[in-house]
Structure 1
C-alpha cells in the first residue's frame, strides 16, 4: 500500500482521471500550522482515538486516516495496520496519513501506539467503495447557503432525533460548555430568541483567533461587538427544531454528517473559490477579480471538457460566476430560478450537474442578519418541487453552507491536503495559517431516494467532496490535489434499494 503522511516522510500515489488513468506520484506540502489535538481525544489514559474515518464508514480511495493518543507517558511510536499489514509508522503521538492502494471491500484498520508500558490500540471496520450503482444518480444538484456553523444550526439535532425514535449519534452542542465573553463573564450555549441574529466576523484572522490553536475558546473575544450585543455573546447562540423544523426533519429523514467542514478557515469568497475551483489559489480575502474574471479552471470548465451537461440557476443579481472567466464562455448556461420548476418536469432534458446560486440581495441566503425562516422556506420551495417531480428518482440534492459565520463551533477543524503549492496571501499582522486545514463544521443534508435513511456520517469531508462526487460519477478530471483526495460521499448512498422513491412527508 502506498500512502502519504503530512510529515512528508511518505508519498501519496493518486490517480488522475483524464481519458485513461495516469498514475502520478506527488509530494504535497503539509500544513505548517499546528492545531492540536487533531480531534477530541478519549479522556481515558493510554487510549487511541481514530478521528477519521468513522467506525463502519464507507470511504473512497485515498483513505484519510487520522488518530491521536491520550497517554500520561510519552508515546514513542504509532503504527497503522490494514487487515493486519503495517502500512505506516511514525514516532509522533498522532498519525495523519492517506492510504491509496487499498482494494474495494471490507477492511479492518488498527492504530497501535507504544509507550514504556507496552502497546495500546484502537480498531475500526471500514468499507472501501467500488462506486457500484452510482449511475442511478443522473443529476447532482447542489445549493450552498451562507454563514452558519453546525453547532449554530444543528447542535440540537441529536435530541430531535431521539424525539423521533432514532439514536442520538450526533456530535452536537454541550449545553454546559463555557466560554468567557469580552468582559470575562462566562457564557453557555443558549437558544437564540431571534431569527435575525446580527452578523459576526468569520474572516481569516477572526477564525484563527477563534480556533486558538485547537482550544476552540475565543469565539466571544473576536470581532463582532455591536450596540445590541457589545460582548459578542450571540456567538454562543443556537437554533433548534422550533426555529428550523423543515431542516431538522429533512436531516433526520434523509442523511447528514457531523464532520462536514468548509474548505478554508476564512469567510465566504475564499470558501466559494474552493466550491468552484478546488482552491482559493492563495486568496484569504474577498479580493477583486481581474478584468474578465479569475482564469483558474472551475468545475464547470472541467464538465465542458468532459462533455457533461450543466446548468447554473440564479435567483437574483447576486451571481458569483461572472467573477470567473468561465462566464465569458458559458453565460448561456445561467438560467433564472423560475426555469427550474419547469425543467425538473422533463427528466431526460435535465442537465447532469446543477448549481443553484444563493439569493443574497433578496435576503434569502440565511446570512445574518437576514431572517433564517424566510430563507429556509425558500429552500423548501426549491427542494419540494424536485421531490414531487419526475426528476426525483434519479437525483441527489445537496444542501450545505459556505462557512461558519463566526458562531461557536466546538469541533476542531479537520486537516486536509493543500490544493496546490500556493501559500496564503498574508499581509502584515495576519494570522499565520495554511491551506492544510479545513474551516469550521457546517450543516449538510444529502437528499435523494438513494440515500441511507436517517444516516449521520462521522467521516471528515469538506465540500470539495461534492466536486469529487461529480468527478467520480461523470468521469471528470479533478481540479486540484484537494478534490482529488477528497472522499466521494458514497457513504451516503445505498444503491441496492431506493428507500425514498416516495419521499417522506416533511414538516413545513
Structure 2
C-alpha cells in the first residue's frame, strides 16, 4: 500500500485572483488556530488562468481555451498532490495533453447567447467522475465523463476518455438539468451535490447517482434558504464539512452537512478569524490527503492503524445462501462463556431447538440434519431444493404478516415455512458436519451480529458489498440478455473503480468458473467502469488455482477477491442449497492452507462471508437500516431493512482464538462493513468514497485483530465426507 500523508490532513490552497501567488494551509479543526501555514512551502505560484480540482487521488488542472496545431481546445495536466513539496501544485505529472473543444461541445457550435461561452471549461469532479457544465440562462447542459487516471501508464493518456451516459453517440451523452442554470454553483459533498443559487441564500441538495441519465435527478433531497449565509459568504468544501468564510469581515465558520436538517448545516463546529491573507481577492481550494499510519496507534491492537501496520494482504471470499443458524448456529452451545468477546459481551447468539415455524397447524422446530453426524449413507445436501429468496419472498419469510414491513414493525421470523412450504429450511448443520467452516470460526473469529444487506437474492446483496447499494434493483440479472448487456449501461461505481481512481492498482479477482463465458464479478461490478481495464482485463483476473499458487509463493496482491464455483461439473463450492457441501468444505480448506503455508501468512487477513441467507431460517430479527441512496425504492421496498444474519468469519494470526466480534454500536455489521473496512485500510478518505450512505456509515471490523503478537499455531482441519464423497475411494 502506498501511504503518503498525515492522518486527517486537509490542505487549503489560497489563490489570488489577480496574480499567480498561492499560499498553503493545513486545516485542523481541533487546533487552537485551525489554519496552520505550511511554512516549508512558503509562497508558490500557479497560473491564475488555470483551474484545478481534486479528482479522487489526483489533482486535475486545465487551462483556458487556446489553440494547438490550429485546433481549439484546452491544455490539461493530471498530477499527484503532495503537500510536502515546495509547490504542491506541481507534483509528479501523471497525464498531460490537450482536449479539443469539440470533445465537450459535441456537434454544436454554441449553447447560449454568451459570446465568451467556452472560453473557460467548467468541470466539477463528483465521485470517480467529472461533470462538464455548459450552463446558460435557459439551459443547464451537462455531460458526465468517466475518470480513468491510468496510474499504470503515465504519460499522455486522457484521464476523462469517454462519457459515462447511455444517451447515445449522436447526443454524445449531453443532457440538461431541469433546474440548474448559469450563475448556480455546484459543491460536491460525498454522495451529494449542494447547489447554491444566485444571491447566495437559497440552496438545493441533490443526490448524485451516476447510473441515471440525469445524475442529479428529481426529486431534490432538500431545498430552502439560509438565514445567516448570503452572497457575502464564500463556501468551500473541506472533506465532509463546509467552510463558510466571509472575506469582507475576515470571519469563518465550519459546518457539518446533515441532509436530515431543514437548513442542512449542523453547527458551526468551529468559528473564528481568517488568516490575513484570505481576503476579498482570494479563492480557496481544499484537498484531503490520504492518511498516514499513526505510529502511536499502530501498536494498539484493535485499531485501524494497527491493522494497516500489520496486515499487507486482505482476502475476501463471499459464499452463498446460508443463514448463521443454518451453518454456524451450534458453534458455542454454552453461550460461549469462554470466548473472547469484542464489541459487546452478551452470550453467543446461536441456534436452539426451541425456535420454530408453523407448517399449517404443526410446529416445525429447528433441528440438526441427520442429528448432526456424518455418514457415507447420505449426502450432506440440506436443503435439497433451493428455497425462494427474492425480496418479496424474503419479506414474507421475515414477517408472517408481510404488511408488518410497511408498518415498520420488527420482523417476527415466522414466515419461512409459510413461504417455502418446506420443513428443510428449519434444518441446520453441526460443527461436525462442517468442520472447516466452524473450525476456522472457533480457532479465529466469527460474528454473530452480521446481517445480509437486504432481504433478497444474490446479485443485490453482492452489490451492497462491492458498490454500497443494490443499484435500486431487486432480484437477479445473472442470465440471458440482462446479464450479457449489463456492462453496457452506466451504474454506480464499485470499490475497484474507486481504488483505481485513487491510483491503487494492487488487487485481483480470482474466479473458480466462468458464468456464461464471463467472470461473474467483473461482468456485474467492474466491466464498463474503467475503460483502460476493459481494454486489458486479464491483468487483474486469474483463476482460483492461481490464487493458491500465488498464496504459497507469497505473491498475492494487497486485495484478493475470490469467487466460488457457483455451478460446475465437479460440484459447487459455494455452499449453495441444493448442492453437496463436501466440495465447498474442501475448497475452503485448500484456500486456508495455501494462505497458512505461504510466507505472507503473518501479514494476511482472510474474510469469509455469505451474501444472503438464501431462504434458510435464522431466529434473529434483522434491524431497519439507513437507505443507501435517498431516492431508492422499488415495488414498495425502500432498501431500509437488513436481511437475516449470515456467517462472517475472520482468519489471521493476529486474531485471538475463540473470538466473537460485534460492532459495539447501534448499527450492526452487514456486507457494507467489508467495503468500509477495506477502504479505510487502503487509506482512502471516507468523504471521497461516494458509495452511498449505507457504506459511509457502516461499522468496520479492525477491532478483530486483538493479538499482541502473531500466533505461531496454524490449526489443521479435516474436511467432511458423505455418500458421494467417501473417506476412501472404495465405491
Please say whether Structure 1 and Structure 2 have the same fold, judged by a TM-score greater than 0.5: yes
- Partner Cα distance (1:306, 1:249) in 2: 37
Q: Secondary structure at the match of 1:354?
A: strand
Q: Secondary structure at the match of 2:694?
A: helix
**Selected match of 1:492 from 697, 704, 716:** 704
Q: Retained in 2: the 8 A contact 1:317–1:361?
A: no
Q: CA deviation at 1:18?
A: 4.7
**Selected match of 1:200 from 376, 387, 399:** 387
TM-score (normalised: structure 2): 0.49
Residue in 2 that maps onto 1:502: 713
Residue in 1 that maps onto 2:310: 136
Unaligned runs of 5+ in 2: 1-53, 58-80, 82-187, 193-204, 208-239, 241-268, 270-300, 371-378, 405-410, 720-731
Residue in 1 that maps onto 2:528: 325
Matched, 1:186 2:371: no
**Selected match of 2:650 from 437, 446, 454:** 446
- Partner Cα distance (1:341, 1:185) in 2: 48
Q: Retained in 1: the 8 A contact 2:302–2:702?
A: no
| Structure-to-structure mapping, 1:76-475, within 5 angstroms | 129=303, 131-159=305-333, 169-181=347-359, 183-193=360-370, 195-196=380-381, 197=383, 198-212=385-399, 213=404, 214-222=411-419, 224=420, 231-287=421-477, 288-289=482-483, 290=485, 292-293=487-488, 295=490, 296-308=492-504, 309-318=506-515, 319-320=519-520, 321-323=522-524, 324-326=527-529, 328=534, 331-332=537-538, 333-347=540-554, 349-362=555-568, 363-426=572-635, 432-459=636-663, 460-475=668-683
- Partner Cα distance (1:189, 1:447) in 2: 29
Deviates more, 1:450-459 or 1:462-471: 450-459
- Partner Cα distance (1:490, 1:166) in 2: 15
- Partner Cα distance (2:357, 2:338) in 1: 31
- Partner Cα distance (2:713, 2:651) in 1: 12
- Partner Cα distance (2:446, 2:648) in 1: 5
When residues 468 and 284 of structure 1 are mapped into structure 2, their CA distance, relative to the original with a 3 A threshold, is same
When residues 403 and 458 of structure 1 are mapped into structure 2, their CA distance, relative to the original with a 3 A threshold, is same
Q: Secondary structure at the match of 1:456?
A: strand
When residues 294 and 246 of structure 1 are mapped into structure 2, their CA distance, relative to the original with a 3 A threshold, is farther
Q: Secondary structure at the match of 2:542?
A: strand
Q: Secondary structure at the match of 1:187?
A: strand
- Partner Cα distance (1:177, 1:256) in 2: 22
- Partner Cα distance (1:293, 1:370) in 2: 33
Q: Secondary structure at the match of 2:561?
A: strand
Q: Retained in 2: the 8 A contact 1:243–1:373?
A: no
Q: Deviations over 1:200-245 (max 9, x none)?
A: 11110011111114111111100x3xxxxxx411111111112101
- Partner Cα distance (1:147, 1:28) in 2: 36
Q: Retained in 2: the 8 A contact 1:150–1:442?
A: yes
When residues 444 and 217 of structure 1 are mapped into structure 2, their CA distance, relative to the original with a 3 A threshold, is same
When residues 171 and 325 of structure 1 are mapped into structure 2, their CA distance, relative to the original with a 3 A threshold, is same
Please, what is the CA RMSD of the aligned residues? 3.0
Q: Secondary structure at the match of 1:252?
A: helix
When residues 352 and 17 of structure 1 are mapped into structure 2, their CA distance, relative to the original with a 3 A threshold, is farther
Q: CA deviation at 1:365?
A: 1.0
Residue in 2 that maps onto 1:68: none
- Partner Cα distance (1:496, 1:17) in 2: 38
Q: CA deviation at 1:130?
A: 5.8
Unaligned runs of 5+ in 1: 1-15, 30-61, 63-100, 102-126, 225-230, 427-431
Q: Retained in 1: the 8 A contact 2:444–2:655?
A: yes
- Partner Cα distance (1:264, 1:28) in 2: 24
Q: Secondary structure at the match of 1:159?
A: coil
Q: Deviations over 1:244-298 (max 9, x none)?
A: 0121121011011111011111111111111221111211111325453453211
Greater RCO (CA < 8 Å, at least 6 residues apart)? 1
